[in-house]
Chains A and B, each alone.
Chain A
Amino acid sequence: MSVNTTSQHYVKIWGLLLFLLVVSICGPLLGIKVVTLITAFGIAIVKAWLVAANFMHLNIEKKYIVYLLLSMIILMVLLFFGAAPDVMKPGGNNWERVSTTVK
């Protein structure tokens, strides 16, 4: 796979990443939870996508590589929702959390 993207394009993406970094640092300083979630975590997803698409060339890579990566991310989402009831609930229909308080 030959890459035809110019160096200038990469520098522009880098500049955008730095701008988003500044926004993600300044957003939480406002102290509003929703703004923090959007600026810190939403921007992290955007930055990751920019690096993956432009620097890792996923935008021109074979599609099955993208499907491979997405399938692993889906597994992580499944892990979250699979484990969340055990971690975050104090009990269920047939069980109760009996453990020392985790610091």
Chain B
Amino acid sequence: MSFAQPMATRRSSTGISTGKLAVWWVIVSEIVIFGGLLVSYILYRLYHDQWSSEAAHTSLIAGSINTFILLTSSLFVVLSHRAIEDKDPQKAFKYLWYTIFGGLGFLVVKSIEWTGEITHGFVMTKSLFWAFYYTAAGLHALHVIAGIIIMAIISFDIKKNKNLQRVEYIGNYWHFVDIVWIFLFPLLYIAK
């Protein structure tokens, strides 16, 4: 027996497409993951005022550059979605790859930043602040890597005019990754 499409893609009882709902569920679960981590960090940070001396060693410049990169890549991915709505998958492909390059740029800046910090002795085991810092930023970076890989896969599909709706789905995921960084940036880089 063969079928053209999985049944889940051909029906919806919730008013939105199954794929989009699934991505929202993923985002909701990620709110709990990152939210739990950040709430724990905030609790400890409020209790340990001396952490400000540790936080002084994070690089505001690197954090600011990464924030700019992620905000710009969010623009590119929503422009990619706009291009799909305008029935222009080739343009969407281009914008999706701008987003991917943004994500790669983010990882390059993060690598340079962490190399500098680690070579100066600010490692994960140095103190609880640095354990939180590397865990939170590292978990976020893993999500950036996952997003890049998924976007690349989707880009080759849309170039062949297939599964165009997935641009919106990965776009929502990427915006969430951006929003997490929007909160990580002041917590880890500005609150000194």
Rounded to whole Å, the gap between the CB of A67 and the closest CB of chain B is 11
Rounded to whole Å, the gap between the CB of B149 and the closest CB of chain A is 21
A44: chain B residues within 8 A (beta carbon): 182-183, 185-186
Cβ contact within 8 Å between B39 and A18? no
Q: How many A-B residue pairs have C-beta atoms within 8 angstroms? Tell me.
A: 115
Q: Of the 9-residue stretches B24-32, B104-112, B140-148, B153-161, which lies at the interface with chain A? A: B24-32
B124: chain A residues within 8 A (beta carbon): none
In the docked arrangement, what's the CA distance between A84 and B39, Å?
Answer: 10
B43: chain A residues within 8 A (beta carbon): 80, 83-84, 87-88
* Interface residue total, chain A, C-beta cutoff 8 A: 45
Given contacts A18-B71, A21-B64, A51-B74, contact A62 B16 (CB under 8 A): yes
Cβ contact within 8 Å between A76 and B32? yes
State which of B32, B44, B179 has its C-beta within 8 Å of the C-beta of A102: B44
Task: List the interface of chain B (C-beta within 8 A of A).
Answer: 14-16, 24, 27-28, 31-32, 35-36, 38-40, 42-44, 46-48, 60, 64, 67-68, 71-72, 74-75, 77-79, 81-82, 85, 127-128, 171-172, 175-176, 178-179, 182-183, 185-186, 190-192
Task: List the interface of chain A (C-beta within 8 A of B).
Answer: 1-3, 5-7, 10-11, 13-14, 17-18, 21, 24-25, 28, 36, 40-41, 43-44, 47-48, 51-52, 55-56, 61-62, 64-65, 68-69, 72-73, 75-76, 79-80, 83-84, 87-88, 102-103
